[in-house]
Structure 1
Amino acid sequence: MTSSSVYASTHDAATIRTHEWRTIANSAAYLIPHLKPNMKILDVGCGPGSITIDLATNYVPQGSVIGLEYSSKPLLHAQKNLDAAAAAKKGDNNNEINVQFVQGDVLDMKHLFADNTFDVVHAHQVLQHVPDPIKALEEMRRVVKPDGQGIIASRESASMTWYPKLPELDMWYNDVYLQVGRNLLGGNPDPGSFIHVWAQKAGFERSMITCSAGTWCFSKPEERRWWGGIWAERVLDPDYVEKAVDRGGYCTREELERIAAAFKDWAEDKDGWFTITHGEMICRK
């Protein structure tokens, strides 16, 4: 069994901050109409747990949520975030947050979860970082409840666009970001426009798949400074430099430094605009 280990970024501090920003409102709003207070949910690729904890706290308070993550490092942050959320609820009549974090591989969950267990299996920006996304969806399908009772919810980036069109950012996206993720590591960067095709290959009927789209847009000054600053850090993280420069040969260290500077320049441009389009799907078996 191949490990889910083709994550193009690293679990550096900047990447963790990016993932901790994610909530149901900004990253999984399409799932809200399907949630009920007593549901049992599996959050695949939970990272530092911000969506996992949000689900348990605000959407399924009488239910339970398990966050599954293949890497131990983000789970340390997830537990700290859970402890902080529980401390913030002290004094409430019900201060329980029914969340459990588990280290494991979405490609091989048989030893962790039985068939037909969960009401919802959720995955945000996960399939693109798995070497066999169809196998991952098959495993997610196995553990979700049958007969249309349970759902799989998946959201993946489909495209990135920005203004002004700085050549260094074009180089970052086309020559580094896509190349490291796809050719060096064997992932599938930005697959949002065809995740429903993967779902059909994993056994879902097309009539049981509902597609939608969502966006992130960074245009306000504080949004630009946050997004540009995080990416300026991420492209210079030592592990990412090792992948892009030493292993892949897709750029030089000096070019990554120019890319980082360009992200900072973009962030300070009053007309700066960056959007990521996501493909979303709800699948029933």
Structure 2
Amino acid sequence: MAVYTTDHSSSVIQTHSWRTASNSAGYLLPHITATSKILDIGCGPGSISIDFARRAPQGHVTGIEYVPDPLTQARELASSQGVTNVEFAVGDIHALAYPDDTFDIVHVHQVLQHIADPVQALREMRRVAKPGGIVAARESASMTWYPENRGIEQWLDVTTRMGAAKGGNPHPGRMIHVWAEKAGFYRSKIKKSAGAWCFSSPEERRYWGGSMGDRAKSSGFSRMAIKERFASEEELQTISAGWKEFVEAEDGWFGLMHGEILCWK
């Protein structure tokens, strides 16, 4: 995960904590059973993992992150909600510390775009999935917004250049099924779909635009952008102002499309 272009600052955690199984993994939910054993890779603050655990009350969920930073919050969230069939640990998607054929479902959400070798990651996910089990992945593919906004345009340009320069694969949702075939899945056993997020109500704009604007002011993204000269202080100010304009725009609308795959082993 060395190419990850942000950190786990409060603005990033705020964004990740909004994610639930319903708004971020709906394509997978019909395949979760009461006894499913699930590995959730890149779990962050645990909101999706805990949702999975609720849907598999006789099963178990393991959430892993490449660094320990967000895992304390994940454990506290599970404890506060009385969810006991979930655990969190540090782990590396390129070399998962689990035996072959361990999990019914292996899941990632917006993780493959941040790593240097997504095919190797999918091979590892396939390895630890049980025969007949599912590997599920969802990655951003494209985004658009209204009205026109120079700051958001700059944000997309900077984040895309940073991700590519650090060895990642920005917004790869359109091609994750190709990576899955290279990782050993048969084409006939890969189901492709698309999902979307939309932020348009005042509350949605405050959440999305507010957290993204904060990232431009103080986060791993902003520090890396300045340090490695992907953006100037003035450009980051323009980005932050652009997100503020979006929040305040009564007709503001932001859409983000994801590519999704379910791969049967």
C-alpha contact 1:70 1:105 (8 A) present in aligned 2: yes
Letter of the 2:37 counterpart: K
Name the counterpart of 1:178.
160
C-alpha contact 1:61 1:97 (8 A) present in aligned 2: no
Name the counterpart of 2:194.
213
Report how far residue 134 of structure 1 moved. Answer: 0.4
Q: Supply the distance in 1 between the matched residues of 2:6 and 2:219 (Cα, whole angstroms).
A: 11
Query: Are positions 1:251 and 2:231 aligned together?
Result: yes
Q: Supply the distance in 2 between the matched residues of 1:108 and 1:123 (Cα, whole angstroms).
A: 15
List aligned pairs for 1:82-97, cutoff 5 A.
82-86=78-82, 97=84
Q: Supply the distance in 2 between the matched residues of 1:239 and 1:116 (Cα, whole angstroms).
A: 36
Letter of the 1:145 counterpart: K
Report how far residue 240 of structure 1 moved. Answer: 2.0
Moved over 4 A (4+): none
Query: Are positions 1:274 and 2:254 aligned together?
Result: yes
Query: Are positions 1:134 and 2:140 aligned together?
Result: no
For residues 185-212 of structure 1, the C-alpha deviation after alignment (integer angstroms, 9 at most, x for no partner) is 1111100000000000100111110000
Q: Supply the distance in 2 between the matched residues of 1:50 and 1:80 (Cα, whole angstroms).
A: 11
Letter of the 2:217 counterpart: L
Q: Which region of structure 1 is more displaced relative to structure 2, 234-243 or 27-36? A: 234-243
Report how far residue 145 of structure 1 moved. Answer: 0.8
For residues 212-249 of structure 1, the C-alpha deviation after alignment (integer angstroms, 9 at most, x for no partner) is 000000001111111111011011225322211221x1
Q: Supply the distance in 1 between the matched residues of 2:220 and 2:102 (Cα, whole angstroms).
A: 37
C-alpha contact 2:7 2:219 (8 A) present in aligned 1: no
List aligned pairs for 1:12-27, cutoff 5 A.
12-27=9-24
For residues 239-279 of structure 1, the C-alpha deviation after alignment (integer angstroms, 9 at most, x for no partner) is 322211221x1221111011101101111111100011000
Query: Unpaired runs of 5+ in structure 2?
Result: none
Name the counterpart of 2:128.
143
Query: Are positions 1:72 and 2:68 aligned together?
Result: yes
Aligned residue for 1:46, secondary structure, equals coil
Query: Are positions 1:121 and 2:110 aligned together?
Result: no
For residues 37-77 of structure 1, the C-alpha deviation after alignment (integer angstroms, 9 at most, x for no partner) is 001000011111000011101x1011000001111101121
C-alpha contact 1:65 1:99 (8 A) present in aligned 2: yes
Name the counterpart of 1:93.
none
Which one of 63, 76, 86 corresponds to residue 59 of structure 2?
A: 63
C-alpha contact 2:139 2:259 (8 A) present in aligned 1: yes
Identity %: 51
Aligned residue for 2:223, secondary structure, equals helix
Q: TM-score, normalised by structure 1?
A: 0.91
Q: Supply the distance in 2 between the matched residues of 1:113 and 1:173 (Cα, whole angstroms).
A: 36
Q: TM-score, normalised by structure 2?
A: 0.98
Report how far residue 11 of structure 1 moved. Answer: 0.7
Q: Supply the distance in 2 between the matched residues of 1:255 and 1:240 (Cα, whole angstroms).
A: 13
Query: Unpaired runs of 5+ in structure 1?
Result: 87-95
Which one of 124, 147, 168 corresponds to residue 164 of structure 1?
A: 147
Query: Aligned pair in 2 of structure 1 residues 155, 238: CA closer, same or farther (>3 Å)?
Result: closer
